Amino acid sequence: MRLLLALLVLAVARPWARAADEHWCYEIQKKTEPNCLGPKEWKWDCQKKRQSPINIIASNAEVKKDLGLFSFSSYEKKKKWNVTNNGHTVLIDLNKEAKIEGGGLNTEYQATQLHFHWSRNLTGGSEHSINGEHTAMEMHIVHQKKQLTSKSQRASENTSEDIAVLAFLVKVGSQNDNFQPLVDILPTISKPNTSTAMNEPVSLFDLIPEKEKLKDYFRYLGSLTTPECSETVVWTVFQEPIYLGKDQVLPFSEKLFYDKSRKKNMTDNVRPPMQSLEGRSVYKSYSSAAPERLLPLALTTLLVPALAYLTAGSL
């Protein structure tokens, strides 16, 4: 009888155990873990119609005048950040201290964390692509709308822009010393669910391109690129990439692992970008349009007097 009961308990318990095993993973992990849920099987909001990432076709992006400059606060503060391998990415907890506003956002947002996506293939590690071109990595600085005080305000609020992600494509170039404190500690967090603090202080401004180069960006409404794929993100994808040396990009794939036994290199942690736009618009900041907009004007200003001079000379 006892055995029968034990068997019964096992039979009942098993489906639960299996459900718990069904954790989400990236396509590359399915090779060794066929039971995990790959991007095509992600549930939650992942099969809805406002998903990310996307391929941005620059010439289709509409210029929007209110997409002006961002203002950053506490982005200059240097800290020895705590860095975590969470089993899907490498993540820095930002504690909501740094803030952004402007850039066409409706309100102020607080920086919660930043993380990366990458591949060993140096043209396959970004989630977003511009004109079909992927880069070596992508860095996401995740910001959350400042919490409203009253619950009723919160309930009545539209949550569709609760999260603002600043996305930076990372290309291979020359060595970037500002990233070295992060690269240096990767071997110490090789296993999932391990954390360590950087040895050298770094600011968020140290990690991103110079302020003057941040005026050109794309904007669209999408989702988180990992389950539960919540459709609450206002995306900013900057045109200016971050440059890192090849020897700084490859350690992400070589030193970090998806598993405790360090057999499965953490790489290709990228959601396929073929999420269709489904009628959404992609906008570009006003200044991105400036060169094309100013060129005819500049030409006219230069050409008219030149032509007048030439015509006068020939007369």
Which CB atom, from 140 or from 215, has the smaller least distance to Zn ion? 140
Q: Which stretch binds Zn ion (CB under 5 A): 15-23, 42-50, 56-64, 135-143?
A: 135-143
Asked if 143 touches Zn ion (CB under 5 A), the answer is: no
Which CB atom, from 182 or from 286, has the smaller least distance to Zn ion? 182
From the CB of 114, what's the least distance to Zn ion, in Å?
Answer: 9
Q: Which stretch binds Zn ion (CB under 5 A): 44-52, 138-146, 204-212, 233-241?
A: 138-146
Instruction: Tell me, letter by letter, the H, E, C secondary structure of the chain.
Output: CHHHHHHHHHHHHHHHHHHHHCCECCHHHHHCCCCCECHHHCCCCCCCCCCCCCEECHHHCEEECCCCCEEEECCCCCECCEEEECCCCEEEECCCCCEEEECCCCCCEEEEEEEEEECCCCCCCCCCEECCECCCEEEEEEEEECCCCCHHHHHHCCCCCCEEEEEEEEEEECCCHHHHHHHHHHHHHCCCCEEEECCCCECHHHHCCCHHHHCCEEEEEECCCCCCCCCCEEEEEECCCEEEEHHHHHHHHHHCECCCCCCCECCCCCCCCCCCCCCCCCEEEHHHHHHHHHHHHHHHHHHHHHHHHHHHHHC
From the CB of 33, what's the least distance to Zn ion, in Å?
Answer: 21
From the CB of 167, what's the least distance to Zn ion, in Å?
Answer: 8
Closest residue to Zn ion: CB criterion: 140
Q: Which stretch binds Zn ion (CB under 5 A): 93-101, 140-148, 168-176, 189-197?
A: 140-148
Catalytic residue, chosen from 88, 115, 140, 143, is 88
From the CB of 230, what's the least distance to Zn ion, in Å?
Answer: 13
Which CB atom, from 88 or from 255, has the smaller least distance to Zn ion? 88
Which CB atom, from 128 or from 215, has the smaller least distance to Zn ion? 128
Cis peptide before 272 (omega within 30 of 0): no
Number of residues counted as binding Zn ion (CB under 5 A): 1
Asked if 140 touches Zn ion (CB under 5 A), the answer is: yes
Which CB atom, from 140 or from 145, has the smaller least distance to Zn ion? 140
Q: Which of 263, 278, 176 is nearest to 221 (CA)?
A: 278
Which CB atom, from 88 or from 215, has the smaller least distance to Zn ion? 88
Asked if 88 touches Zn ion (CB under 5 A), the answer is: no
**Interactions with Zn ion, residue window 237-276 (CB under 5 A):** none
Q: Which stretch binds Zn ion (CB under 5 A): 61-69, 94-102, 139-147, 270-278?
A: 139-147
| Torsion (CA) 67, 73, 77, 82 in degrees, nearest 10 | -80
From the CB of 270, what's the least distance to Zn ion, in Å?
Answer: 9
Give catalytic status of residue 143 as yes or no: no
From the CB of 269, what's the least distance to Zn ion, in Å?
Answer: 9
Q: Which amino acids are annotated catalytic?
A: 88
Contacting positions for Zn ion (CB under 5 A): 140
